[in-house]
Amino acid sequence: MAPLRNTGGAIVAAAISMAAILTYLLQNPRPKYYYSVGKFLSSKKKKSRNGGLIDAIGNTPLIRINSLSEATGCEILAKAEFLNPGGSVKDRVAVKIIEEALDSGELVRGGVVTEGSAGSTAISLATVAPAYGCKCHVVIPDDAAIEKAQILEALGATVERVRPVSITHKDHFVNIARRRAKEAKELALKQTKIDQLDAEDSEKTSNHILQGDQSVFPDDCKGGFFADQFENLANFRAHYEGTGPEIWEQTSGELDAFVAAAGTGGTVAGVSLFLQEKNPKIKSFLVDPPGSGLFNKVTRGVMYTHEEAEGRRLKNPFDTITEGVGINRLTKNFMMAKLDGAFRCTDMEAIEMSR
């Protein structure tokens, strides 16, 4: 990565994976932060929380990467998102998606949040949904590691493993997840009508939804909500209202640049926009892994990646060790980003930087 001018501030990298540094936490108790008010803040004020699981999300430490700081002469800090209870930045997103859905009435307690994800977002939704009295149903491709399904089930989620097909196919796992939310809603409506009619003799629906293509949710399900992390701007707001302000407070505004990779784009969008509004001199950059079209989108305005070029397309064009980052479509969340540039990174660079 090209060196950035050091003006005495710091460069912050987000969404890294590192081992927990307990001594750091003991010496640096998590500070209380004050949230700045900006035009994209959701109308509801930050909820007063009760010290439970949800309270343990966010306010993660910024850890100085000594080796890189010394090698570059810049202060390089990493936001330790792996210290969230669900192990990633996605806990913030899961909380925001669920809280906004509950506030709008699209989701109610006893309802089920559905998502098509084989990654961190599913783990975060499964982790936090019970804290809101909700359930979580995750649809994943059946070529994803079985351990992922096992972790989700251990967290109390129901998991549906489906054949991997193109995103344009109605049975792509994301499309099935969207459909399941609709089915859960319909089931709840039907149940309400049955209750209203007090129809003891009425035909009972089966106790569970979907075997193949039939229903899988229990009769007492109170409806469904599709989390839709790629297109739901609650994702962006989680970072605009949370991660961005935390970075600003933790660095006392003394930072030159912010660097992150993008999957849904929620993190780069929320943080970059927040920092730019606080101080337009702060630069934000994307780091893009192999197989992703975002680098070209940011630097040349065209969504294109070499791996997709005519005659070069591999069976798995996204054959990279980076998981969850890199994408070949523009999401609503990514479109909110205010980026000053982008860097390509190789798998080897990603591995080296993680050590």
Ligand X SMILES: Cc1ncc(COP(=O)(O)O)c(C=O)c1O
Contacts with ligand X by CB under 6 A lie at: 15, 88-90, 119-121, 262-267, 324-325
Do the beta carbons of residue 338 and residue 286 sit within 8 Å?
no
Please, which residue, 16 or 41, has the CB nearer to ligand X?
A: 16
Tell me 220's DSSP state. T
Min. distance of Cβ 331 from ligand X in angstroms?
9
Residue 76: how many CA atoms within 13 Å on its side-chain side? Answer: 20
Min. distance of Cβ 117 from ligand X in angstroms?
8
Min. distance of Cβ 93 from ligand X in angstroms?
7
Within 10 A of 217 (CB to CB), how many other CB atoms are there?
A: 26
Tell me 226's DSSP state. E
| Beta partners for residue 224, in sequence order | 112
CA distance 40 to 270: 9
Please, which residue, 88 or 284, has the CB nearer to ligand X?
A: 88
Min. distance of Cβ 324 from ligand X in angstroms?
3
Please, which residue, 223 or 324, has the CB nearer to ligand X?
A: 324
Structure token pair of residue 128 = 């936090």
Please, which residue, 91 or 183, has the CB nearer to ligand X?
A: 91
- Give the closest residue to 140 by CA, choosing from 122, 166, 113: 122
Please, which residue, 15 or 176, has the CB nearer to ligand X?
A: 15
Please, which residue, 90 or 185, has the CB nearer to ligand X?
A: 90
Min. distance of Cβ 191 from ligand X in angstroms?
34
DSSP letters, 114-183, are EEE-SSHHHHHHHHHGGGGT-EEEEEEETTS-HHHHHHHHHTT-EEEEE----TTSTTSHHHHHHHHHHH
Min. distance of Cβ 15 from ligand X in angstroms?
4
Residue carrying the six token digits 């990279």: 320
C-beta nearest to ligand X: residue: 324
Please, which residue, 251 or 331, has the CB nearer to ligand X?
A: 331
Do the beta carbons of residue 256 and residue 282 sit within 8 Å?
yes
Radius of gyration of the chain (CA): 21
Min. distance of Cβ 90 from ligand X in angstroms?
6
Structure token pair of residue 5 = 């001018």
